[in-house]
Structure 1
Amino acid sequence: MSSPMEVREKAGRDNDEDEDDSDDLNLRKSLPSSSQKKTSTKSVFGNKVNSENVKSSHHLSFSNKYELVFPEPLENDNDEEMWDVDDLSYRNRWSSVDTESAGPSKSVSPVLSGTSRLSKDDSTRVPLGKNNDYINASYIRIVNHEEEYFYIATQGPLPDTIEDFWQMVMENNCNVIAMITREIEGGVIKCYSYWPISLKEPLEFQHFRVLLESFHITQYFTIRIFQIVRKSTGKSQFVKHLQFTKWPDHGTPASADFFIKYVSYVRKSHITGPLLVHCSAGVGRTGVFICVDAVFSAIKKNYSFNIMNIVTQMRKQRCGMIQTKEQYQFCYEIVLEVLQNLLALN
């Protein structure tokens, strides 16, 4: 178990998208707190989405028509490439660099470059165990129309925090992990592979054992099913690990389609506990995911929503959520595409 001081010395990777500090999103407007209901609404006109509240049209059924616009992948889709994990079972986890996306855990170098300190609001941090030990993770609660959406935003595990990560997953009864990065992008390590690479060989820790039950590849994300076992009690739980593999090395995806389908699939997979989301530092792409997921939930129920307010709520609970203007704009592009396609079906 890492102490708070030890982990803070490791420092969080707050530049996980390799953008200049000058591109940092600076929200200057004072908005209502997360407990307040929004009353004003604005419409969508042409190709613009106003930063004020947007009300989805009541005659649109997001639940029924969304699947027509963006059909989600089935776990036995023809475009999936099945991997034989046994062929990779004897690979050294840290011995080589591989920039290919997807697949079972790619072996990476143990040196993590470009790290820096990430400050957090201690009131929302996720405590570990009876001693409330430290991990670089924050509870995020997004309130919209008196409904609350609950997440954990966290840094991608480091070699000496992997057991802490799995402890957090188990203690919070998380059944889904959304990973929005590849292990290596552009030759730079973004996240250590923290899962077993063989069906036959579990990943052993002092207090936990993690087993890979199954996995396969879709066109734009990888699905893995893990079983976590607490050694002292034998208690276990299953976790669905969904790794998005189409985010480019720099900037944001050229097309929103894949990310829209991914976010929807993650939401439909969620059953228990907070939805756990991470990228590299757990702020940039993680913030985009949480914002878009909250908006999709609002659209599905014909609720109004305010993207700026959602981002402000996130930033009050974890510093730097949505790091750049480009990421902020991407949230609007995603939502606009969904609304336009729903209107076209009407």
Structure 2
Amino acid sequence: MRRWVKVSVAAAVVLGVGGYVAEPYAQDWLLARDACDGTLPPDALEQLTPEDAHLRDETSHLHEGLGSYSCRLTAEEAEDGTGDDGRLVVGMEAYTRRDDQDREFMSIFPEEGFSPQASLPEGLPGFIDKYHDINFLLPCPDLGKDAEGRQRKLLVRMSLGREANHGAPGAAYRMAVALANGASDRLGCGAEPLRAPAGDAVPPDPERDAETVPLSEAKDTACGWMAGAGLPQDQGLRVAAAVNDAAPTGRCDLTDRDGKSALSLVAWYGDWSNRLTSRDGVPRSLTATARCDGEAAGYALGTSDDIPGVGEAVQRRLLKEFAEDQVRRRGCSGLRFF
């Protein structure tokens, strides 16, 4: 019998005989029902909970004046005694203030901003970061504009425990979408509700699961411009496309024949990206900037390995083609190169 079916049956029986709720399955049912103010989809939660683990605790914190909301659901500690405070099943943090959002982006993209990332299915306004968190950045029409005339937004970050079944078909995306929609409601954002992607998509690991195609076949990807960029065709180069036109960041990577990243082109959207294209007010080399939806956009090229025939002149051309492709896709203006 499935976990949450057993939970609901046990809860109904236990609660019906005097309100006693210490029975583990009844406790599971109550925690699952109440966690994150009741927004967790039961089927996805069942799939993401560690096998044979009972739930332990749920917490949520809403600070309307500070524009923040968080919730967390944990399971009992592991058999080896680790996890004194419980094992994370799912956690979420959401912010509508720019300072909080900038802090989160700085943790995801420190230094020059070439942190591992993966794209979400097209249409979802977000990305997967180096911590494996699913991030959404949503416009908040009900919150108006900030003091600088920028549309206020909602940043939502969802984390899954290390023991959660990340490979559960479709479950992580259903959970993330439900939490984002719930956070929008709780914080008065008014964002258009997200819809989970159809099918059994599983979030990739940004550092290990990048899907690549041969350079000659890249034209059908979101980094299709690379196929006609004049790159050497005899070195086994492959393209990894992590671009989603609705997301606040994306990248096109070139990998060598062994799958190691050799060259990366990254885009960041929002005024938080200013620090990634300059240092102390001086533009970094091999970067570009533009204006998109009234805010800054930044583009940069980085290399981790020499590619024969791809010197600085070719790299500058690649940055130009990448940035121009992004500007066309997003309807941006004022593109400048450094």
Structure 1 or 2, whichever has the larger Rg, is: 2
Task: Output the TM-score relative to the length of structure 2.
Answer: 0.24
Structure richer in strand, relative to its length: 2
Task: Output the TM-score relative to the length of structure 1.
Answer: 0.24
Q: Which has the higher contact order (CA 8 A, sep 6+)?
A: 1
